[in-house]
Structure 1
Amino acid sequence: MSSKAPDGKAPDPARRSDRSRRAILDAALALVGEVGYNKLTIEAIAARAGVGKQTIYRWWPSKAAVLLDASLSLAGDARTEGGWTGFPDTGDLAADLKLVLRATVDEFGDEKYDASARALTAAAATDPELGARFTEQLLEPQFALYEARLRAAREAGQLADDVDLRLMVEMLLGPLTYRWLLRTAPLTHAHTDALVDRVLGGVANFTGK
């Protein structure tokens, strides 16, 4: 029997692997939203994706690792679909920060993102190795975008020369993440706008220009 596809070409193993990986990542995201992280299993992911569980173990050591790569893929898809070209720099720092934080609120409110992000955050807190990958691959690139925009504002004279850029990022994202993770209050655009105004209002030399 011929191993060629109907078009006469031999099957492409790389393409087949890509399809399988994508199916696994999509299955992990869908299932964690349906059953939660504690009930999520490799067997269930494999069944949903239509692959053998050994296929998953060939690429990932645990369900947490699958979920991390699924979240990275989801973040990449969101940037592509939104036409993401990098952190905006219109010259108006407050407006740029508000725009990005509003988008973050919208992402946190998306069920497709929320369940996987919560599960991954909880898993990373108890698994040091996963936590290190979570920070390095998901958090640090995001922090770097904020820091780059704040650095440009500092170079433009909008922020004090000695301002701690990482501390500013933490001041912006910390309260937002806390409110989202613990559900202490609704996440709104008004909240993030006020957060930006408060943080920038407490930084010496912020001119708003």
Structure 2
Amino acid sequence: MPDAPSATRRSERARAAILAAAGELTRELPYAKLSIEAIAARAGVGKQTIYRWWPSKGAVVFDAMLELDSGPDGLALPNTGDIAADLRELLRGSVAALTDPGFESFLRAMYIEIQQDPEIGAAYRERLLLQRAAIADRLAAGVQSGELRPDLDFELATDLLLGPIQSRWSLGLGGLTEAYADAALTAALTYLKA
């Protein structure tokens, strides 16, 4: 007779099922209509299983969002040896994620959750710091290779790269296209390469 699955393996499977269910449901329902009950039903677990790991709907959905956002290399940026191409991929990817019609309203709802829930806000800031560190690492490689100025201020450079896109999105100004991402990159490179 095969061994019964260990509690740890069952626990890991349940957690993965919950995150997958939350990720799927964010594409199917407006955030306001998404519930712990719906996530539990889709994952095939009880509500208490969800509350064992997450204190709120916002927390489980935020973790599901991070799962969807994690690529095979995590937060590392590509290093093809062409800093402009690598940063273009980053900015175009940001625009694509923020303007995805099936995801944008959900992201806007999560933006509100981040402002209202201190735990989710702290987790978001931690993730943001990791993203900024990954960008700084790629910029440092650009400095080392001679593609970028030797006295580059990494914090300012990161703000110049991400700020225009984040600002337009958070203010709902529209116009977030690949062409806009490319124009923002061209403007930032004026400082990065000077």
TM-score, normalised to structure 2, is 0.85
- Structure 1 residue 11, shift from structure 2 partner: 2.5
Could you tell me how far apart the structure 2 residues matched to 1:171 and 1:128 are?
Answer: 27
Could you tell me how far apart the structure 1 residues matched to 2:156 and 2:65 are?
Answer: 25
Corresponding position of 2:157: 168
Contact (CA 8 Å) 1:67, 1:116: kept in 2 or not?
no
Could you tell me how far apart the structure 1 residues matched to 2:117 and 2:3 are?
Answer: 45
Q: Secondary structure at the match of 2:140?
A: helix
Q: Deviation above 4 Å: which 4+ runs of structure 1?
A: none
Number of residue pairs matched?
194
For structure 2, list consecutive stretches of 5 or more residues without a partner in the other structure.
none
Q: Secondary structure at the match of 1:183?
A: coil
- Structure 1 residue 112, shift from structure 2 partner: 5.7
Distance 1:109 1:151, change over 3 A: same
Q: Choose which of 145, 156, 161 in structure 1 pairs with 2:145.
A: 156
Corresponding position of 1:4: none
What code does the residue aligned with 2:113 have?
A
Aligned-pair Cα RMSD in Å: 2.4
Could you tell me how far apart the structure 1 residues matched to 2:9 and 2:100 are?
Answer: 30
1:44 aligns with 2:38: yes
Contact (CA 8 Å) 2:26, 2:103: kept in 1 or not?
no
1:195 aligns with 2:189: no
Q: Secondary structure at the match of 1:23?
A: helix
Q: Secondary structure at the match of 2:175?
A: coil
- Structure 1 residue 40, shift from structure 2 partner: 2.5
1:135 aligns with 2:135: no
Percent identity (aligned): 46
For structure 1, list consecutive stretches of 5 or more residues without a partner in the other structure.
1-6
1:97 aligns with 2:87: yes
1:27 aligns with 2:16: no
Could you tell me how far apart the structure 2 residues matched to 1:66 and 1:85 are?
Answer: 20
